[in-house]
Structure 1
């Protein structure tokens, strides 16, 4: 992380967006871990807490790899031939664009390249040579145990592993020259401190090299067809660092008597700057596309989201990250959009598709989405697909993807979520991943650390709460609307009063909610309900409490009223959900009432409060809900309204074919009905176990004040504000204590490894391995 985003292998265009436009300073932990792994070509399973930057952790490397793939494939059509546009350029340096994502570039003039991985990584200069005789120098600065390096010349269509195809000529430290994958003895070995001169004579088609000023002889004679191409100074490294010198002064004289010039001194009509964005990708099935689009309906990357809201948000994020990237097209495939526009975009060619699983399946079946060139499959919130019973659909999409490639042509599969520890996820990973690397930053039991959790026990026998039901003390009581799960007949025939108490809990919750809103002077809060009907009823109640004015759109200034609200739930249209979410983000309403559809990935900056109007049916959904606060080290308060111990709440649980529409079957499911008794207090116990706490602190009526321990821990900060330095220090101390044993074990292993290496070297001799 110390080197920032650039050290992770991301290109200039992406850096400009995330650091320049979005003002991100450093990658988060999941980004720091996952981005290099994905750029390195491996499958990844990343589990990290909500709000940790998971979207960028997969979107940024996918964008980088798509950019690199398109540029390689476009080589024959972009910046390779010397016909056409010679640019008046003098900006000779290593390209932040035309490189492998793992090639690091440093130096004010962008002239140092370094690689820390054990695989070949390479790149080229910003400009190419079209004619004449050119020269540049390279000096090996560092080398690891396996450090190797090559320098030379390549075209824009060449592999970054210099000298492994017909479009690259290289010279390596073992004293071998390389072209088309053939390594032949040439010159001498070179090592740290040696200066290698690279010569290109396009008049005769000759490539040669020098070591410390001594010419080693002609290394290659080009075939005639290669002379008309643009040739770029190139480098390939493995665990090494090298200094490129394009502009001089050079360590050794340039043989101007033989007509050679330093590349920066070449006439401008002999220099070419490639423009990749004007050309579509080449290769089988390639078709014309807008802005450099991919072949007809055949993307490089498929990103699958569990819900339309999340798909739209991820699509928007990727558009933000790629705002300075030319020639990469992104499509959003989901219901509720203009399908004609989506189809037209796919026909024009797209590179990255973000979509919901149902609509992706539909487009595939109808032949609107061709998967023949896909190289990346990302399952975002992967566990959600299994919860929804969509494993078969995931497998269907996976089976349609090409899986026969090797190296950088193989299919990469990545899972991302806050929770990836279930046996079902493990089985799915075995089925579709190839030896995935786990990025498990906080483990199965991770929860957002900047969130305080509190509970209000809804006890229908509590006198302070009962008072709220009287219109004289709480005028809003007469506007409470329940889900009507308790018929009048069931309340009158209820000797044990279980139905009456359940009904009282339902009537108390909205009134307690008002008191909590007032007690904490809430300006912005997400309220999670269990069903769409609960959302509708709470919206109606808050509107009555706020004077009867329903949110109807953006106002000139401020909030609609102190209880202004809107709903984000599955039964609302996509357009309405989109408008409501935007209104909440912009502060036009104070409260966003939603079902669990919004618990996955919806990002509201500096959100101070979340209220669980009813606890979810699964513990992990509680983690996803409260993860809306405590993001980016901002404090958050999660308040849960929970039926007290000994009381249960009767709720709808529709098993009917019409999914509850018009249903009035109030019998429990065991008797063929559509209701269940929800033991909310038992779910609270499961949440407390998940949080590793014996008891979540309680807010006590009538004032519902924060417990003193929580209040003192705020350190003067407010919810929605950054965590105080004291809290940060305490958190860091906990992490350090947790990591200390593992770090000490690694130190011991390193010491033993170094001792063993020295012992073997003394015993068998310390000959130094050459570079090549």
Structure 2
């Protein structure tokens, strides 16, 4: 099905073509017509399924017949759980809307940066992409109004609830008008999301996109058995001796990530950490450097890793194993994309071995564990 069959206008089709979109994803095929028809939508789809464009495109189309904005009332509100996702959604609105006849001012607001520039920038904003906490801060300062909002989008609703935003979301929903179009996207439909769906959506179009099995065949997986005190030296040994470039390392905590980066730098390896205690400016700059190959090693926690989407990423290293087999597959799936091969390496301490066996059983793939005792790690 081509984008032309979804009833989008010629200027928007040209914008889609300029962004090198060739055909719609399954969720776009179903969501775009429903949103254009003014219906509430419940979409269950994983990250990376194309859902952002599935609401951005019909919303931009909706604006083409609307007049100019009045005061500081937000016409479209998009709630997102993290700064990275808010920035990403805002950039998609701007990319598709750049050359449309009717310009739509879009802004992303989030915590971790000064609120004053955001307050000043809200003049004439029609689409606001916001994290819940920062939106409530702005509302408390009367910097904007959502009492006349016409379209509400909740993106990754399950993650917002898992991150403890339930009370904030409840406060925001209370301030919104009863009559509006509501669009809710979530990776899963748990009890909490089901509760919001029941109270918020009116006779919604329900869309569920099954996630294809992660193709692990293009990913060369290996693991090293290592004591906890030799893990850091082994990591540095592998990066140096294998001459690895553009390596994504997963750590279990912010403290571990920072410690790893400090030791990597001391050993002449260009590295940076990405986690929630870094300022937004630092996170954006670090991610851009890594994506463009100007940073050799990025050490990340799972919480912020969803903003890392690189088509050709050669190496993923699990310094610490994730809690669930699904998270393990999600991590190593950052490599081996678009037909390219990739390598995933896990460092396994004795206390990790049972958990690693469970991970292998769940993904139905055996991973050889290599011994590291004979490796000379002195000086690494």
| Short-chain TM bin | 0.7 to 0.9
27 and 398 in structure 1: CA distance in 2 versus 1, 3 angstrom threshold: same
Larger strand fraction of residues? 1
Mapped pair 1:434 → 2:140: no
1:392 shift after superposition: 1.9
Question: Which residue is equivalent to 1:324?
Answer: 99
9 and 518 in structure 1: CA distance in 2 versus 1, 3 angstrom threshold: farther
Question: Which residue is equivalent to 1:51?
Answer: 48
522 and 431 in structure 1: CA distance in 2 versus 1, 3 angstrom threshold: farther
Quote the Cα distance in structure 2 between the aligned partners of 1:602 and 1:9: 32
Quote the Cα distance in structure 1 between the aligned partners of 2:73 and 2:260: 45
702 and 614 in structure 1: CA distance in 2 versus 1, 3 angstrom threshold: closer
- For each residue in 1:149-182, what CA deviation from the matched residue of structure 2 results, as whole angstroms up to 9, or x when unmatched? xxxxxxxxxxxxxxxxxxxxxxxxxxxxxxxxxx
1:573 shift after superposition: 1.8
The secondary structure found in structure 2 opposite 1:61 is helix
682 and 60 in structure 1: CA distance in 2 versus 1, 3 angstrom threshold: farther
RMSD across aligned positions (CA): 2.8
Quote the Cα distance in structure 2 between the aligned partners of 1:422 and 1:686: 24
Given candidates 138, 154, 158, the residue that maps to 1:379 is: 154
Given candidates 284, 289, 293, the residue that maps to 1:578 is: 284
Quote the Cα distance in structure 2 between the aligned partners of 1:520 and 1:378: 45
- Give the number of the structure with larger relative contact order, counting CA–CA contacts within 8 Å between residues 6 or more apart: 2
Question: Which residue is equivalent to 1:33?
Answer: 30
Select the structure of larger CA radius of gyration: 1
The secondary structure found in structure 1 opposite 2:306 is coil
633 and 386 in structure 1: CA distance in 2 versus 1, 3 angstrom threshold: farther
Question: Which residue is equivalent to 1:532?
Answer: 254
Mapped pair 1:452 → 2:219: yes
Quote the Cα distance in structure 2 between the aligned partners of 1:327 and 1:631: 35
374 and 610 in structure 1: CA distance in 2 versus 1, 3 angstrom threshold: farther
Question: Which residue is equivalent to 1:749?
Answer: none
Contact kept, 8 Å, 2:324 with 2:359, in 1: the verdict is no
Contact kept, 8 Å, 1:453 with 1:697, in 2: the verdict is no
Question: Which residue is equivalent to 2:116?
Answer: 340
Quote the Cα distance in structure 2 between the aligned partners of 1:689 and 1:374: 48
Question: Which residue is equivalent to 2:13?
Answer: 15
Question: For 1:706-717, what aligned pairs fall within 5 Å after superposition?
Answer: none
364 and 628 in structure 1: CA distance in 2 versus 1, 3 angstrom threshold: farther
640 and 577 in structure 1: CA distance in 2 versus 1, 3 angstrom threshold: same
The secondary structure found in structure 2 opposite 1:319 is helix
Quote the Cα distance in structure 1 between the aligned partners of 2:366 and 2:153: 36
Contact kept, 8 Å, 2:76 with 2:152, in 1: the verdict is yes
TM-score normalized with structure 1 length: 0.45
Contact kept, 8 Å, 2:105 with 2:127, in 1: the verdict is yes
Instruction: Report the more deviating stretch, 39-48 or 348-357.
Output: 39-48
The secondary structure found in structure 2 opposite 1:295 is coil
Report the count of equivalent residues: 371
Question: Which residue is equivalent to 1:360?
Answer: 135
1:702 shift after superposition: 5.5
- For each residue in 1:657-700, what CA deviation from the matched residue of structure 2 results, as whole angstroms up to 9, or x when unmatched? xxxxxxxxxxxxxxxxxxxxxxx445445544653x2x442252
Contact kept, 8 Å, 1:51 with 1:632, in 2: the verdict is no
Question: Which residue is equivalent to 1:411?
Answer: 181
The secondary structure found in structure 2 opposite 1:597 is helix
Larger helix fraction of residues? 2
The secondary structure found in structure 2 opposite 1:700 is strand
Quote the Cα distance in structure 2 between the aligned partners of 1:38 and 1:520: 50
Mapped pair 1:311 → 2:103: no
